[in-house]
Amino acid sequence: MKDISPSADPIGQNAIKLISNVGFSVFVFSVLIFTIIAITYQPPDPWESSRLLSRVFTEVENATFDIDNSVVKTGEDVGMVSVSVSVSISPAASPAEAPVGQSETVIEKPGEKGVNVSVGSVGCDDSSLVNCSDRGVLMAIKKFNVKRFKSIVFLEYQTPVNGSNVNECDVSWKFRNRKEKSWRKYRDFRRFRIGYGENCSYKVVGAKGWHSGINAKRPRSHGQSQLNVTSKGDDQINDTIPVMGPGSSFRNGKYLYYSRGGDYCKNMNHYIWSLLCALGEAQYLNRTFVMDLSICLSSKHTLTNKDEEGKDFRFYFDFEHLKETASIVEEGEFLRDWKKWEKNHKKKIPVRKVRTHKVTPMQLKNDKITIIWRQFDKPEPENYWYRVCESKAANIIQRPWHSLWKSKRLMNIVSEISGKMDWDFDAVHVIRGEKAQNKAMWPHLNEDTSPDSLVTKLQGVIQPWRNLYIATNEPFYNYFDRLRSHYKVHLLDDYRELWGNTSEWYNETMVLNGGRAVAFDGYMRAEVDTEVLYRAKTQVETFYNLTKDCKDGINSC
């Protein structure tokens, strides 16, 4: 008979139990580790690494952001380029990829059949008139554009119309650049010479440059004010100030209101960093942010070298996009409704005044009061907005970079400049200005960005006679004349008509500014230069290619 006493239990059962216990312990420990990582991990800010942001932006010693302002980045640049513009040195475009030049160009090459679209069995020859409204003409133009302009996404075409000569057709379309991550659309209209290929198919045999198809340009308005006489303006821009609802809805809202602090009249990098902190706190508290659209432009960016108050936020940034992606109300509208409500009601609006940045957003999270009013009355740097997002709040508040885009009006100028070079150009970013004169911080910068050095270094990177756009803060226009013997040089000042007193930009900004002309200031120049640089096929940077000096000075590499 078998022994069934407890002492006779197999050793294997105990081993199995032990293994099971160990396995379960490992599983629990793994879950615990994963949970800790998930709770504590903070993804990097999309603009820069958190380490660099903490060092550059939150040091009290560097509290006014005295850093390079010659490259301007906002939310639409995220994913398009790295924080420091990387160099994408590539061979020059082959002849087969070269786009159409400014003058009429015959595109059909030996051995090629051109861009053909059949027009049926109607007899045709070179003397046959082309019907521009025929669908086949538009199809031929579409195929031509897709083949030639590889950096452009074509979105909407209008029906072609007759050009100035026989068999010329003008057509307009909306587009966006592949390197721009926003949804914004831009407009071009060009003139094409249409011929016939095999089987009476339509083909594009020649095309002219940017904005050459004047018969397809949108009609001008008549009988409008002098401000709008030259153009209807961009119908995609809607940066009007939203009107708040009736009085009862004002009382039911929840608002975060920042008074002006030491950030006022600081440079734009400082302003952006502080504004996004405020917007991030409003988002965290689930409140509407009260937005002051009046900016004081620092002397670093003005033409007068003095601080200038009364600049409109909409001159520089896309207010329409901000309205769509963040809960905001304009300060003047907010104060009028606040005053109106209290005038018509016996009770006052509940307000909590917060007088120090040391009161954290986490402490305000559960506050149900209507208005939280942060006041920044202490001496600098205690009165900077961005101090609210320091310390523990840095891991809680997420700055909404995606909400801040550059002004669509300035981006229209970027598209004009790029289009005039037919989207086929290279660019070099040459930082000079005060830095080139500061030998203590940048001992080699002046020599490394001299005309002779530029010619030597660029010849090894960019093919001769390419369109070369120079984004620079060098004040002397003729400084780069040596390069003109090797390249088709373009500078921002070559396109002054785009912000001159007959331009769309001039008229539209005058309307925003109450009928007063707006100066095209240094910050606007930096915004445009930056975006044109991003659209170049090859990008050459000062501190990555032209000089071995560190970007932020000696021993900062």
CATH number of the domain that 289 lies in?
Answer: 3.40.50
The dihedral through the CA atoms of 462, 465, 466, 472 has a sign that is positive
426 in a structural domain: yes
133 in a structural domain: yes
Q: What torsion, rounded to 10 degrees, do the Cα atoms 504, 509, 510, 513 define?
A: 170
Whether residues 417 and 382 share a domain: the answer is no
Q: What was the pLDDT predicted at 46?
A: 41
181 alpha carbon, distance to own chain's centre: 8
Whether residues 375 and 422 share a domain: the answer is no
Give CA–CA dist 466/457, Å, rounded.
Answer: 15
Whether residues 313 and 436 share a domain: the answer is no
Residue 466 · residue 426 · CB < 8 Å: yes
Whether residues 208 and 328 share a domain: the answer is no
pLDDT at 145 over 70: yes
Q: Does 406 or 71 have the greater pLDDT score?
A: 406
Q: What was the pLDDT predicted at 72?
A: 80
Whether residues 257 and 354 share a domain: the answer is yes
Strand partners, 311: 295
Give CA–CA dist 135/119, Å, rounded.
Answer: 9
Give CA–CA dist 368/370, Å, rounded.
Answer: 7
pLDDT at 119 over 70: no
Whether residues 424 and 344 share a domain: the answer is no
Q: DSSP class of residue 551?
A: T
Q: What was the pLDDT predicted at 390?
A: 95
Whether residues 287 and 366 share a domain: the answer is yes
How many distinct structural domains can be found in the chain? Answer: 3
Total count of residues recorded for the chain: 557
149 in a structural domain: yes
The dihedral through the CA atoms of 75, 76, 79, 81 has a sign that is negative
Whether residues 114 and 151 share a domain: the answer is yes
The mean per-residue pLDDT over the stretch 380-390 comes to: 96
Q: What backbone torsions phi and psi does residue 176 show, to the nearest 5 degrees?
A: -140, 160
Question: 15 pLDDT band (50/70/90 cuts)?
Answer: low
SS3 518: coil
Lowest mean pLDDT among 28-37, 79-88, 281-290: 79-88
Whether residues 463 and 495 share a domain: the answer is yes
How much of the chain, in percent, has pLDDT values that exceed 90? 62
132 in a structural domain: yes
Give CA–CA dist 298/282, Å, rounded.
Answer: 26
Q: Which residues contact 303 (CB under 8 A, 6 or more apart)?
A: 519, 521, 522
The mean per-residue pLDDT over the stretch 130-143 comes to: 94
The residue whose two tokens read 């006041």 is 375
Q: Does 101 or 341 have the greater pLDDT score?
A: 341
Give CA–CA dist 285/290, Å, rounded.
Answer: 13
Lowest mean pLDDT among 166-180, 219-233, 325-339, 454-468: 219-233
Question: 13 pLDDT band (50/70/90 cuts)?
Answer: low
Domain-ending residue, one of 382, 403, 424 = 403
Q: Which residues contact 175 (CB under 8 A, 6 or more apart)?
A: 152, 153, 154, 155, 185, 186, 187, 188
Whether residues 487 and 540 share a domain: the answer is yes
Q: Does 393 or 247 have the greater pLDDT score?
A: 393
Question: 219 pLDDT band (50/70/90 cuts)?
Answer: low
Q: How much is the mean pLDDT over the chain? A: 83
Element housing 247 (H / E): helix 247-252
Q: What was the pLDDT predicted at 274?
A: 97
Domain-ending residue, one of 381, 403, 425 = 403
Q: What was the pLDDT predicted at 306?
A: 95
Element housing 102 (H / E): none
Q: Which residues contact 209 (CB under 8 A, 6 or more apart)?
A: 100, 101, 102, 103, 190, 419, 420, 422
Whether residues 258 and 398 share a domain: the answer is yes
Residue 171 sits in which domain range? Answer: 98-217
Lowest mean pLDDT among 3-17, 160-174, 420-434, 502-516: 3-17
pLDDT at 91 over 90: no
SS3 319: helix
Whether residues 178 and 312 share a domain: the answer is no
The residue whose two tokens read 């600098």 is 380
319 in a structural domain: yes
Strand 152-157 to 168-177 pairing: antiparallel
pTM assigned to the model: 0.79
